[in-house]
Amino acid sequence: MQIATLYKDIKKDIQHIERRLTKVIDADHPILHKASIQLLRAGGKRIRPVFALLCADFGDRETKDEQVKAVATALELIHMASLVHDDVVDDADLRRGKPTIKKMYDDKTAIYTGDYILACSIEEMAKIKQKEVHKVLAKSLVNVVEGEISQIEDKYNINQNLRQYLRRIKRKTALLIASSCKLGALTAGTSKEDANRLFQYGYNVGMSFQIIDDILDFTSTTEKLGKPVGNDLLQGHITLPVLFAMEDPSFKQALENVFHDKTLITEQSIEHIVRLLLETDAIEQSYLVSNMYLQKALKSLEKLENIKTKKTLIKIAHKLGERSF
């Protein structure tokens, strides 16, 4: 079953967000216009707006409309802006299997396109009345940037530990997903307690989501990933499967031999490291950690009202656990 069939009840809302994104980023400047449209056409799963819209169901449906949709749109725009900047930082040519803005134009144009999209998200945010919503969003933006800076600091560091990795993925991924759940709820007028339960759900789903992303970087295919297998390692990023694999001293030595001299980091040498990693139990162990977060996500939902959307959130958590895309 496709994940989108799980949230068919909000299909119309998602279509609205899609039209709204096109309208919001419509730029006068020809380069910004072309780059932004290109970005929208490249698609994406839109999971942040999906979570915001679903979590709004725990609130007042009357107030759901405008405020929830504005926040859902703003969240997707922030996500898009961060990806455009990330592709510059990582010097990535492909995203979602399509050429990046950086590849189509250049680094500077990509940075300004990201800035522009971030500015568009502020325009949407200006429609939100609740002060708390602005605070949560500002905080998660600060966290995303901090997560990225620590990712640069931790590059090629084979002596980092599990805590450093978890802190990094919390900031770069989980908190924006957590905020999507919380803000969808808050803008629909849920209680603070329910909004916080949904934040916890989003946080745990987000952690699991990023761990699976990091697993798929080793187990998926270039076609599905839209980038080479082992790309994280090629970029010097030490993820959970690598941390587990490094418990085997011979694997750690092999990685150190490649990482100590950056000229040795090539697609071929990384292919070899990927093969060695797949011979260990690193992937199974990483799935266990991901499942632990999924269980926590399910637990966070327990005290919420038993509406239909609660079942949908449960199904999404299960589905994300089996994801291969």
Q: Which residue has the tokens 């080793």?
A: 218
In this structure, the number of other CB atoms found within 10 A of the CB of residue 153 comes to 11
Distance of alpha carbon 297 from alpha carbon 291, whole angstroms? 10
Nearest approach, Cβ of residue 187 and ligand GRG (Å) = 20
User: What distance lies between CA 225 and its chain's CA centroid?
Assistant: 14
Between 126 and 145, whose beta carbon lies closer to ligand GRG?
A: 145
Between 215 and 255, whose beta carbon lies closer to ligand GRG?
A: 215
Between 47 and 245, whose beta carbon lies closer to ligand GRG?
A: 47
Which residue minimizes CB distance to ligand GRG? 44
Q: Exposed, middle or buried, 115 (CB in 10 Å: 0-12/13-18/19+)?
A: middle
Between 148 and 248, whose beta carbon lies closer to ligand GRG?
A: 148
Nearest approach, Cβ of residue 268 and ligand GRG (Å) = 26
Between 76 and 194, whose beta carbon lies closer to ligand GRG?
A: 76
HSE of 72, CA atoms in CB hemisphere, 13 A: 29
Nearest approach, Cβ of residue 108 and ligand GRG (Å) = 15
Q: Which residues bind ligand GRG (CB under 6 A)?
A: 44-45, 47, 78, 81-83, 85-86, 89, 96, 114, 118, 141, 144-145, 148, 172-173, 210, 213
- Between vectors from CA 243 to CA 239 and to CA 248, what angle results, nearest 5°? 145
Nearest approach, Cβ of residue 85 and ligand GRG (Å) = 4
Distance of alpha carbon 313 from alpha carbon 212, whole angstroms? 18
Q: Exposed, middle or buried, 98 (CB in 10 Å: 0-12/13-18/19+)?
A: middle
Between 59 and 147, whose beta carbon lies closer to ligand GRG?
A: 147
Residue 240 · residue 286 · CB < 8 Å: yes
Nearest approach, Cβ of residue 207 and ligand GRG (Å) = 11
User: What distance lies between CA 71 and its chain's CA centroid?
Assistant: 17
Between 120 and 246, whose beta carbon lies closer to ligand GRG?
A: 120
Nearest approach, Cβ of residue 114 and ligand GRG (Å) = 5
Between 81 and 234, whose beta carbon lies closer to ligand GRG?
A: 81
Distance of alpha carbon 212 from alpha carbon 289, whole angstroms? 10
Residues in the chain: 325
Choose among 83, 87, 71, 86: nearest CA to 121.
Answer: 71
Radius of gyration of the chain (CA): 20
Nearest approach, Cβ of residue 258 and ligand GRG (Å) = 24
The DSSP H or E segment spanning 215 is helix 192-219
Nearest approach, Cβ of residue 141 and ligand GRG (Å) = 6
